[in-house]
Copies of this chain bind each other. A is one copy, B any other.
Amino acid sequence: MTTRASSTRLPRDERREQLVVLGRELLGTRPYEQVSIGELARAAGVSKGLLYHYFPTKSDFVVAVLEQSHAELAEQMTPDPALPAEQRLDAAIDAVLRYAEEHRQGFLATMRARHGPDETIREVLAAARARRVSSLVELAARRAGAPREEVESPLLQAAAEGWVHLSEHVIGRWLERGDLERDAVLALLRDTLLGALDAGLAARGSPAPVR
């Protein structure tokens, strides 16, 4: 913990954002189930009352942290348009792995929270997963050289969703066990993603694109 929300008066939005940034630092290294609002307030150098002013419940605070994390990850994953298409996918997967490394505990806590008791948090996580699936359908459309409307199907969605589950497991295992090489994880995720999208596109009747 390096940053502190000093007691200096800050505009409302800035103070809120600063608290979220502090929350991310703390929740990136400790499972959020174990972090109390009191501890968050102490770490931020503010009163519990002020924290509750911005975030009426711990769930609201966690949701704000998750939303900021998702926005940041989406930004990091946005491919550099100068990169060739094949490298863009590797760059996006690399961004996810870097994000998982940097927010290890947060990433693992998020995996547990998908099945946790907090419904609001589960919904935020499900919405983020749905956005990820949607962007994979976009990727499949680019691979097929066809408009999204033409390639989108329940099967392609199922394939993309299934791969998201695969990737979450593989990344979680990589973080927890430490028995996988980072490069091998990246290659595994890329190859299985392309395979899943091609299999999801196959129902169109056209042959899967050659790699």
Contacts and interface: CB of A to CB of B under 8 A. Distances in A.
B196 A184 contact: no
A165 B164 CA distance: 9
Given A166-B162, A170-B158, A174-B158, A196 B202 contact: no
B188 A195 contact: no
Chain A interface size band reads: 20 to 34
Given A162-B167, A163-B166, A165-B166, A200 B173 contact: no
A199 interface: yes
A180 B158 contact: yes
Interface in A176-211: 177, 179-181, 184-185, 187-188, 191-192, 195-196, 198-200, 202-203
Most interface-central of A162, A180, A203 (chain B CB within 10 A) = A162
A192 B155 contact: no
A188 B159 contact: yes
A4 B36 CA distance: 53
A154 interface: yes
A199 B180 contact: no
A115 interface: yes
Specify how many copies of this chain sit in the oligomer: 2
A66 to B, nearest CB: 19
B169 A154 contact: no
Contacts of A202: 187-188, 191
Contacts of A155: 180-181, 184-185, 188
A94 interface: no
Interface string A138-165: 0000000000000000110011011101
Contact of A169 (B165, B184, B187): B165
A151 to B, nearest CB: 14
